[in-house]
Amino acid sequence: MNASVSLFDITGLVGVVLMLGAYAGASLGKLDPTRAPALVLNLAGASLILLSLARTFNLSASVMEGAWALIALVGLIRLALRRRP
């Protein structure tokens, strides 16, 4: 078993922390999951996890994180379009 931690592993772990932070914030009523801060955390987290999967690909994890990132991105685009005059 290889005990070394790669940059890909660290990238993925940072992504997990961001996504769990967003989930915890929403669950505890500290973040509105439909607002930019939570959406940005989810988009960044899912993107970092996707990047980490480039080294050791996993189809189901990639589909999940890709969908998560896409949903967050659509939410951010909708927020941006609503703010336009």
Side chain identity, residue 66 = G
Confidence (pTM): 0.92
Residue with tokens 């999967």: 53
pLDDT of 83: 87
Confidence of residue 6 (pLDDT cuts 50, 70, 90): very high
What are the pLDDT digits (tens) for 30-44? 999 999 999 999 999
Would 1 be classed as within a structural domain?
no
The tokens of 38 are what? 């939570």
Q: Which of 5, 41, 7, 8 is nearest to 23 (CA)?
A: 41
**76 pLDDT higher than 90:** yes
Burial of 12 (0-12, 13-18, 19+ CB in 10 A): buried
Contact 67, 27 (CB under 8 A): no
The tokens of 25 are what? 């914030």
Residue 40's domain spans which residues? 7-83
The number of folded domains in the chain is: 1
| Backbone dihedral angles phi then psi of residue 68, each to the nearest 5 degrees | -60, -45
**2 pLDDT higher than 70:** no
